[in-house]
Structures are given as structure tokens and as C-alpha cells.
Structure 1
Amino acid sequence: MQSLPFFLLTLFVVSSCHEKSSSSTTSQADSMLFAQPEQLGDLNDGLLSESSGVAPSKQNPGYLWTEEDSGNPAEIQLINQKGEVAGRYTLAGVDNRDWEDIAVGPGPLPGKSYVYVAEIGDNKLRYPVKIIYRFPEPTLPRNKLPVVDTIRNFDHIRLQLPDGPKNAEAIMVDPGTLDLYVLSKEDNCVLYRASYPQSLTKTTMMQRLSSIPIGYVTSAAISPDGQEILVRSYHQLDYFRRGVDESIVDALKKPRLLPLAEEPQGEAIGWATDGSGYYTTSERTFFFAQPLYFYRRR
């Protein structure tokens, strides 16, 4: 990549620093719950440069799923704790218009773990329908790595927002109800829900639930037990504790700031499958690295 003119690099840094976040930006992050970021490795694979979502694998302990956004192949990657690619899985017959998040959670068949790939990005507000691709987690064969394979059977969950096309980069799957949530990327995030079971044959109109004072959300995740929620933007991470039988809308009214590494373009967050902490990754931007961080529960 050629070096950028100084004024362009300056513009990037200044605009990133002024990205609007939530109303709590002036508060200090709460380091009582989780430790400061520990860098596990770098995503140095030349074919993986725009990690926009991360979700630890339940089927393959110690590995994490990630995906890239617009302009990249219709492929998800399985990486190890050092950031090395162990598997590449192409979704047959679809394009990566703008994949922006990924989640792992339960699905239609009890006891099985599913991957949810979110085709939800829409920077120019041109697409009325968002799509979630859902399929059982592949199992990584350990005898020959990296694996290159194709996923041919997967569900298409088509979603529409009631207030027209919006850009979005974050989804959540409630492990208790299997409801799907989309969080818009705008000055104040809007939360939408598609209750389970979502139709596989027609477009589901999502329900607008609430507006949240967090700006430019890039990823979100619900813990495996459904009791904790993370919502991140480029430079801020909000944490929410969810009480027994409490709705997600009510839980999202009580934010606490958590530690977040200063990443070049942080767009991904995911809970560890055992709840012991959370992971973040970033897109590779200009000459910056693409680190993989872990934040341990204290």
C-alpha cells in the first residue's frame, strides 16, 4: 500500500477521535469487572484484513469465527487464539454485499450451536431488506489445517426495518428466546427485534423497540447465559447487566463503561463461551496492525 499524504492521515485520525459515542464518554471505564486488554496476537493473514465481527466457537473450543465486510468474498474464517486462520468457509451462492457482524448461539435444533452471519450494512441507505444467514457450526478437522470448505445449506432470514433502510453493524441473538436483534449505526442507536421463530419464506418486519444514547454502534453481543450485554462503538464499550426475566430494552437503560483497547478501527466484540471475558478485533487500517485482544473477568 502506498503511503498516504500527511493531510489525509491527519484527517482520518481527527475524524476517528471525534466519532460520537454515548452520553457517558467523559466517564472512566470501570476496571473492577474486567481487566485491561491483553493482546493475544495479530490477524496477519493477507486475505483477512477487515474483521468486522468476532464470535468464539462453541463447537471448536479455543477458536473464534470472524467475517469481513463489503467487497470481500462470501467467506467466514475460523481463527485460533494467536489470530492465525485455521479454516475458511464459503457460503455458496450468495454475495458479501456488506457483512457486518457474526454471532454464535442456539438455533432451531436443541443442543446444536449455530453461526449467524449478518448482511446488514447499508452506508448509502439503499437496501430495504437485511439478511441473516444461519447454519449449524462446522466442526474443524484437526488433521489438516487450514481447512477450505463450502457451506451449501443455510437459512436465509430476511428482515425489514419499520422506519426504512438504515445502516447497521451489530446483531444479537438472545440465547433464551432465540429472538434476533439489530442495532442501527447512527447518532443514537435504535434497537429492533424479530421474535422467534423468524420466517424462512417471507420477509419479517422487525419491531422498533427503543432508542439508545450510544452513537455509531459497530458490534454487540449477549453472554451465553443471557445475563450480560456488550455494545461497542469505535472507541467505547458499554456493559449492561440483565436481571432475571428482565427485557433487553430495560437492561439497556443501565450502562457501565468497560475497558476497550484503542484500536485502529474497532468493529468487533464477542463473549468467551464460558463467560470468562470478551474478545475484540479491529479492521486493518493504513499501517496499523489488526490485533486480537482478550479482556479477562476479574
Structure 2
Amino acid sequence: MSILIQTLFLCIPLVYAAHFDNGHHTGTVTSSQITEASGICASRTHKDVLYTHNDSGDTHRIFAISATSGARLATIYINGAHSQDWEDIACGPCTGGSGHCVYIGDTGGNAGGDANTIYRIREPSSIHDQSVNVDGSLEFSWDQHDCETLLVDPRGEVYVVSKVGPGHHGKFVHLPASAWNQHHHVWVSDGVYLPITASSNSPVGGDISPSGTELLLKTYGHVYYWSIPDQNYEAHIHTYPEAQPYHPERQGEAVCWKADNSGYYTLSEGANSVLFFHRRI
């Protein structure tokens, strides 16, 4: 995992738009099981519950944590999934709109190369330590080496954004729904390059709002915002985003919207990481 570098520049001056407040500490993740929180998403089924996971080196599990305290509420093992380098997690509808699902991206470049596999599970009906089965998997190949951003829109469509080195632009790609459960890697060649020029390896996380009309991407030093009123992400992602308030973190890689669209959370890797919430104003 890259050393924390606080700055990522745009090709234009940064202007903070008055969308969200400066944020407050809403909890601390003290569980000894969660030491490298690499992604985060807000449950669509359980109020004030967030899902997170560790970076490479952990096993096939995710965690439910409290959005109001950071306490671990449950450890959820995923039968049928493999953990090579899990980098991001997203909450959204299951494919076809049949209930609520959680998506996990095994897309990182650590641990011997990219698995480039998305796992989908159905949200558990209750929050307690348990094992669940994989509901679906999507394997893909592309011309990018590393990816730490997984996005799911309100239609259950899945997107990834490549993580790139200094001087390069990440690539935003839609993964075809037809690739689910094919049991082989499907090549994806289309995509749109971001207008952000990286000065560190980035982006490292992101989320599409539950409404589908807003998108966040996170780097080690900033949170960037796009308004997508028509939910045509490829048509808008090439435009310059607005930088939003952000508390500098040790190695902050996780960002997600609150389920009611009222703001966004950020969380860093490391033991006893602080959960921040930025409220919409």
C-alpha cells in the first residue's frame, strides 16, 4: 500500500463548493479485527450501519460497524469468495433490483497481481456474526494495473476506477451486467479518463449516492464531487469535479454516502481509526 501523500492536484485551482460542512468525529473503530479499513458503504437495510473490510492480507470477511460510534457490530464471512487484495466495497440494489446487496472489489495490485473480481452478497436480514454465500461474481480484464474504487448505481450497474501513479489519469469503466457469473474474465475496453492528474497513487475510493445523481471520489488528500443529474456517469466524469471538505487522515482510503443522502463518511486505515461525517448544508 502506498505511503500517505497528502496532495493531489487538478489542472485548475481548487474551489470548495458549499455543499457539505467541515465534518465531525462520529466514532472510532476500536475493534482489533479492523486494522486496515480500505472501503466503506452504508447499509440500505439497517439504519446507521456501515460495512467495511480490511485491505490485502485478511480473509474472506467484511464487518458491520455502527455509524454513530464506530463499534464493530458483526463479522460476516463470505462463503465462495477469495480474498487476494480487497480494496473497496459498495452498497446498492442487487442485479435486477431484487433486494439490497453488498459488492466487494478484489481489484488491488497487491498480493501478486490483480484478481479483478467483484463479489456480490445479499444484505443479511439481521446484524450478528454469521456466514453468508456469494450471490454472484463478476470477473473482468482491462488495460489498467490497479484499482481501489468500486461504484454501484441505483440500477445495480457496476463501475470501477483505476488507481494510477503521478502524472497519470485514472480510468472510469462500466462493467457490463452480462459479465456476472460467466466464470471467466470478460475484457472491457471502453472507459473515460478522469480530469484529475495524480501526484500520488490515486484515486483510492469512491461512492455513488443512493439517489444516483452525485458521485464522490477520494484521493489521499481530497474528496472530489460530481453532480450527475441524469445518471449518465460517463458523460460527466470527464468534467472537473468540486473539492469538498476533508479531515486529513493517516491513510484515508474509504468514503461513502450516508444512506439518506444527507452527507458522507470517511475512514482511514490503521488501528483506532476515526470515522468522520460531513453533513450536507
Given the two structures, how large is their TM-score scaled by the length of structure 2? Answer: 0.89
Give the structure 1 partner of residue 180 of structure 2.
199
| SS of corresponding position for 2:4 | helix
- Matched to 2:162, the amino acid is S
Answer whether contact 2:206 2:218 (CA < 8 A) is retained: yes
CA distance in 1, matches of 2:273, 2:231: 38
**Gaps spanning 5+ residues in structure 1: where?**
1-11, 142-146
Structure 1 residues 44 and 34 mapped into 2: Cα distance closer, same or farther (>3 Å)? same
After superposition, residues 1-298 of structure 1 pair within 5 angstroms as 16-17=4-5, 21-23=8-10, 26-30=13-17, 32-81=18-67, 82-123=69-110, 126-127=113-114, 129-141=115-127, 147-161=128-142, 163=143, 166-176=145-155, 178-186=156-164, 187-201=168-182, 202-214=184-196, 215=198, 216-244=202-230, 246-284=232-270, 289-298=272-281
**Gaps spanning 5+ residues in structure 2: where?**
none
Deviation sequence 1:112-141 (CA, Å, 0-9, x none):
0000001000147733x4100001101225
CA distance in 2, matches of 1:114, 1:295: 24
CA distance in 1, matches of 2:139, 2:273: 31
| SS of corresponding position for 1:16 | coil
Structure 1 residues 210 and 124 mapped into 2: Cα distance closer, same or farther (>3 Å)? farther
CA distance in 1, matches of 2:136, 2:20: 36
Structure 1 residues 261 and 211 mapped into 2: Cα distance closer, same or farther (>3 Å)? same
Aligned residues: 271
Q: RMSD of aligned C-alpha atoms?
A: 2.1
Answer whether contact 1:69 1:96 (CA < 8 A) is retained: no
CA distance in 2, matches of 1:236, 1:76: 25
CA distance in 1, matches of 2:73, 2:111: 34
CA distance in 2, matches of 1:61, 1:259: 25
Answer whether contact 1:192 1:210 (CA < 8 A) is retained: yes
Answer whether contact 2:101 2:120 (CA < 8 A) is retained: yes
| SS of corresponding position for 1:257 | strand
| SS of corresponding position for 1:253 | coil
CA distance in 1, matches of 2:130, 2:141: 31
Answer whether contact 2:212 2:228 (CA < 8 A) is retained: yes
Given the two structures, how large is their TM-score scaled by the length of structure 1? Answer: 0.84
CA distance in 2, matches of 1:185, 1:221: 15
Answer whether contact 1:68 1:76 (CA < 8 A) is retained: yes
How far 1:107 sits from its partner (Å)?
Answer: 1.6
Answer whether contact 1:63 1:78 (CA < 8 A) is retained: yes
CA distance in 2, matches of 1:134, 1:76: 12
- Matched to 1:120, the amino acid is T
CA distance in 2, matches of 1:252, 1:243: 15
How far 1:198 sits from its partner (Å)?
Answer: 2.8
Answer whether contact 2:16 2:244 (CA < 8 A) is retained: yes
Deviation sequence 1:182-217 (CA, Å, 0-9, x none):
111103111111122433123222233121133310
Moved over 4 A (4+): none
| SS of corresponding position for 2:191 | strand
Answer whether contact 2:172 2:193 (CA < 8 A) is retained: yes
Q: Which has the higher Rg, Structure 1 or Structure 2? A: 1
Structure 1 residues 189 and 45 mapped into 2: Cα distance closer, same or farther (>3 Å)? same
- Matched to 1:199, the amino acid is W
Give the structure 2 partner of residue 144 of structure 1.
none
Answer whether contact 1:183 1:217 (CA < 8 A) is retained: yes
CA distance in 1, matches of 2:51, 2:57: 19
CA distance in 2, matches of 1:57, 1:245: 21
